[in-house]
Amino acid sequence: MQEKYLDTDTLDAIGPLDVVTRQVVEGIRIGMHRSPIRGISTEFSAYRQYVPGDEIRHIDWKLYARTQRYFVKLFDAETNFVANLLMDASASMTFGSGNITKLEYAKYMVASLAYLIVDQRDSAGVGMFDGSLQRYIEPKSTPGILADISREMEKVEPKPRTNVADVLHEFAGRMTRRGMVMVFSDLLDNTDEFIKGINHLRFRGHNVTVFHILDPQEIEFPLNGVWRFEGLENDGELVTQPARVRQAYLRELEQFIGKVRGACIKSEADYVLVNTAEPIESVVSNYLLQRMAARIR
């Protein structure tokens, strides 16, 4: 891969793992995922006694001849899924204490996951938003979409004020079929509104994963001395000694994370706290392993 956000090392590290969804979703393409829609596939699954309403064409007449009973043949349909990856491109995502900003990190993650999805012939679409949906690439399963994603992400110009909730509501209305929605954001917005957006997506039957991206400095707040903090979202500035307020800040952070995480659990959405100090492949691998483990259970 030659595209900027499709890092070969990252993809190699993630490669052996498949993107496995927990739920079987319907798809327009025959893929490797089980579908609840029986009879579309040619792969036999089981017999079931005929009940009124079943389609006559699904009755196994040979078995009727042997048993004098009506049985309907059931088939596992192989489908693909549509994944929409929504990346927060607001100004707050431009913060980065190390070599990489949260936005850059999110871009790498989005590109990597999109590649894995397309590689297994599922469809991936990407949306980039700040106050509203800034750019949207319709889901496709062709490899060419990866180049489109990378190109579009390079054009992103961060703007202040994220409104994740509105974007989630908009998506909930836009997606006609159930699918997968992955949100990449620092969620430094109105938490209650965000939770409503998640609930809306879940209500529409989508499988939602929230990647909560934070910088290590935001997580550990290790600064000493006197600092002037200037808000990236046009929210003023503050002068303080971080060491003196560190404990209070960390408590606030813990509460904030706890609230988002709790809301996700309640809505049956996946929640992933991402520290940009950690390698991307590690984060993605860890997430996929957790999902597989949850499927096995």
Taking residues 219 to 258 in sequence order and writing x for each that binds another protein by CB under 8 A, - otherwise, the string is: x---x-xxxxxxxxx-xx-xxxx-xxxxxxxxxxxx-xxx
**Cα–Cα distance for residue pair 263/26, rounded to 1 Å:** 27
3-state secondary structure of 5: coil
Binding residue for another protein, selected from 76, 78, 170, 270, defined by CB under 8 A: 270
User: Is 26 or 152 the residue whose CB approaches another protein more closely?
Assistant: 26
How many CA atoms are closer than 13 Å to the CA of 113, on its beta-carbon side? Answer: 32
> Within 81-110, which residues bind another protein (CB under 8 A)?
92-95, 102
**Cα–Cα distance for residue pair 124/84, rounded to 1 Å:** 6
**Cα–Cα distance for residue pair 296/284, rounded to 1 Å:** 19
**Bridge-based pairing state of the strands 82-88 and 123-129:** parallel
Cβ atoms of 224 and 243 closer than 8 Å: yes
Q: Interface with another protein includes 287 (CB under 8 A)?
A: yes
Q: Interface with another protein includes 33 (CB under 8 A)?
A: no
Taking residues 170 to 209 in sequence order and writing x for each that binds another protein by CB under 8 A, - otherwise, the string is: ----------------x-x---------------------
Shortest separation between residue 249's beta carbon and another protein, angstroms? 4
Residue 262 CB contacts under 8 Å (≥ 6 apart), including other chains: none
Judged by the rule CB under 8 A, the positions of this chain that interact with another protein are 22-23, 92-95, 102, 186, 188, 214-215, 218-219, 223, 225-233, 235-236, 238-241, 243-254, 256-258, 261, 264-265, 267-273, 275, 286-287, 290-291, 293-294, 297
